[in-house]
Amino acid sequence: MQLTLSNRITKLLCGVAVAGLLPVSGALADDAKVITSWDLQTQERTVATIRDAADRFEAANPGFKVEDSHIANDAYKTKLKIAFGANEAPCVFTSWGGGPLREYIKAGKVTNLTPYLEKNKDFADRFLPASFSPAKYQGDIYGLPVMGTAVAVVIYNKDIFKKLNIEPPKTWTELMDVVKVLNENKIAPFALANKAKWPGSMFFVYLADRIGGPEVFQKAADREPGGSFEDPTFIKAGEMLQDLVKAGGFARGYNGLDYDIGGSRRLLYSGRAAMELMGSWEFGSIANENPEFAKNVGFFTFPAVEGGKGNPNNAIGTMGDNYISINADCPYQDAAFDLLKFSTDDRAAELKMEDNKILPIKNAKVEDPYLAGVMEAVGKAPSIQLWYDQELAPALAEVHKDTTQQLLGLSITPEEAAAKMEAVAKGLANK
Amino acid sequence: MSDGSVQSMTLRSRQSYRRAQKLAPIVFLAPAIILLSVFLLYPLIYSFELSFLDWNGLGDGARFTGFDNWERLLSDAVFWQSALNNIYLAVFSVLIQLPIAVLLAVVLDEASKGSRILKILYFIPLLMSSVALGVLFKNIFDPNFGPINSILTELGLYDWTQDWLGDPDFALGSVIAVVCWQNVPFYMVLFLAALSSFPREIVEAANLDGASQSTIFWRLKLPHLQGTFRTAVLLAVIGSMRYFDLVYVMTDGGPEHSSEMMATYMYHTVFNSFEMGYGSTIASAMFIIITVIAAVSMRLSKRFETEI
């Protein structure tokens, strides 16, 4: 009895071991070369455009297979970080460029695309030169813009503006007047869902850019002589942001609402709030969620600040939105670059346009009036500042988001916020 | 093995028997020890090791910095705020969850009719995923559209309406309320199980002696629950000290770190700030704090038990 039982267990264990080996042998038999590709697009149409590029790549490269995974925004950041930490990262991946991508580049995890782009001059020259900047490190290019141009604009309810006889403000003073009129009519001026802290950061970034121009931030971020996060520009931006809060600029709950579940858009739809400062992708979200309301939506660029040094045409945002890069450990580097090409070629740009996303390539023809308006604003902009939370080194970006949320909560003074930023920036620079 | 067979053994086989006897515990314990070392001990030691590094968690760029991370931790107001929040959560978990759970358990144990439906109803919160619950309660607490503020307004109590999750004064309280609501069923089941082992005859005898319901509860049933109570306190305290999921979904520790937990703060430093070394320091500190608090609460609940 004893013997037969242990016999049986042995057999069972052997069976399990054999079964465990099966997938391996299966993979060996079918020797397709697999290129894994991760991105953070989950909308059906957007995913279809990505798959279209993968299909065309597979057709052009027999023997290769693209395994694409699409992961939701916040989970994606974590998943990518863990995968790279464990050396299990995909061959091809997207990011926002800026600080986080530079962390991966510095760790030697990302392929330098400059030699490839030099070999493919015609392909590379189609892109607007400025569009590469978030994916650049020490002069080299590490990612291609893959999603579309997105800048922050003020979206507003045209009906409310018409009813109250107000015009889109061109200056900060005019904006404060609009805020007053709206409040008198019991309509909250701005809808803001700042739980994740980046939506509120947009106000601060625009104010700093309008007051001091993009150079002030660049000098502070690059630790150039004379550059400091305690520059009067940042303190003034904090003061003006708090003025807006004190004037009742935001709908109730702004520091706790969740953007991802529509916390701010709901306020717009219900007419409780009249405006929202948000990336231009918001048009797409509104059109998807509430097509009836979408007809009623207009937008204007962030108002000028009187006496500010920054050009009022400057925008904040990104020309690529997402950047597609190659993992330096990927065994099929050349094929991976080919996949990148298919993902950003003219056909891909065409499909993305149908999905309301404008790849930053020269001569993109835009028909949608909102997108055309955004592209016009982008065309006029002498500078496009990448969101601070994506541009800065991650540890500093966290401090920026924290202090901005505190500024909005009126629980910190602009001077204290600036001092905190500067202290952390100094600490990081000394490492 | 019987005496007779031992005596019949030769010296040699007796020796090997002794050796086997010495070896046996090691052989039997080996799988557990290996598992524990690989999945518990090694990560534990490794995270202590990481706490002495400055590392972004990627590649080989790690730098040994000695006690820098630990010094930073000691003066990190956000960390201590989060530790304090965990303690609040632990205290309120014990003070709110356990009494309600005991009450529900006793009532459900008494009520025979319809109690099965009630049991299921009360058990539902535990079955829901924390993410779904988080989204649900985000909507319930929404200051503009949520039912709580609407009801208060309807009742003419507009002044009582609050920005439940966006105001640093209320965010932690709101989260704790939901955490308690979610976890009461777990402790209720624990107490129900304990009560079901309570001998009916004793209750019947007490009834015959004319003991009131409250006497039966305070003098008989509650003392019977002592052991379970101790387990429950320990589970609630340890669970609260490392709480993560619902807070992450509902407030992500915000606004302004007002509902930050040690675990969410660790998550933020590792995955948002790319500070693997400092995040590991937080994790190691959590380990130390939880061990100390678990030991203290075990000691305290033992004393509480002897006092009853």
Q: What is the tens place of the pLDDT at every residue in B283-305?
A: 999 999 999 988 888 888 777 66
Q: What is the per-residue pLDDT for A21?
A: 45
CA A87 to mean position of chain CA atoms: 25
Residues of A in contact with B61 (CB under 8 A): 106-107
Torsion of CA A50, A193, A265, B247, to 10 degrees: 70
Q: What mean pLDDT do residues A121-147 have?
A: 91
Amino acid at A268: L
Measured CA to CA in angstroms, residue B102 lies from B193, B197, B224 at distances of 11, 15, 12
Higher-pLDDT residue of A337 and B217 is A337
> CB under 8 Å to A421, separation ≥6 — which residues?
A229, A230, A234, A396, A399, A400, A403
Q: Write out pLDDT tens, residues A220-231.
A: 999 999 999 999
Q: Write out pLDDT tens, residues A282-295.
A: 988 898 889 999 99
Q: How large is the ipTM?
A: 0.84
Residues of B in contact with A74 (CB under 8 A): none
Q: What is the per-residue pLDDT for B9?
A: 59
d(CA B267, CA A398): 12
pLDDT at residue A171 above 90?
yes
Residues of A in contact with B141 (CB under 8 A): 256
> CB under 8 Å to B128, separation ≥6 — which residues?
B136, B182
Helices (H), A164-197: 172-184
Mutate to test the interface with B, among A106, A198, A257, A428 (most CBs of B within 10 A): A257
Share of residues in chain A with pLDDT > 70 (%): 93
* Residue A397 half-sphere exposure toward CB, CA atoms < 13 A: 24
Q: Are residues B163 and A256, on separate chains, in Cβ contact within 8 Å?
A: yes
Residues lower than pLDDT 70 in chain B: 1-9, 112-114, 304-308
The reported pTM is 0.85
Tokens of B90: 């632990």
- Extended beta strands in A182-270, E state: 188-190
The H helix count followed by the E strand count for chain A is 20, 13
Residues 189-218 of chain A whose Cβ lies under 8 A from any Cβ of chain B: 194-197
Q: Are residues B274 and A81, on separate chains, in Cβ contact within 8 Å?
A: yes
Which helix or strand (DSSP H or E) is residue A33 part of?
strand A33-39
> CB under 8 Å to B70, separation ≥6 — which residues?
B51, B281
Q: Is A85 on the interface with B (CB under 8 A)?
A: yes
Q: Write out pLDDT tens, residues A239-271.
A: 999 999 999 999 999 999 999 889 999 999 999
Q: Could you identify the residue written with the tokens 């649900």?
A: B136
Q: What is the per-residue pLDDT for A22?
A: 44
Q: What is the per-residue pLDDT for A26?
A: 42
Mutate to test the interface with B, among A81, A245, A412 (most CBs of B within 10 A): A81
Nearest to A206 by CA among A249, A256, A172: A172
Q: What is the per-residue pLDDT for B51?
A: 93
Measured CA to CA in angstroms, residue B218 lies from B72, B195, B211, B212 at distances of 49, 13, 11, 10
d(CA B277, CA A119): 40
Q: pLDDT grade, residue A9 (50/70/90)?
A: low
Q: What is the per-residue pLDDT for A144?
A: 95
Given a contact cutoff of 8 angstroms between Cβ atoms, the answer to whether B52 and B66 are in contact is yes
pLDDT at residue A27 above 80?
no
User: What pairing do the DSSP bridges indicate for beta strands B53-54 and B63-64?
Assistant: antiparallel
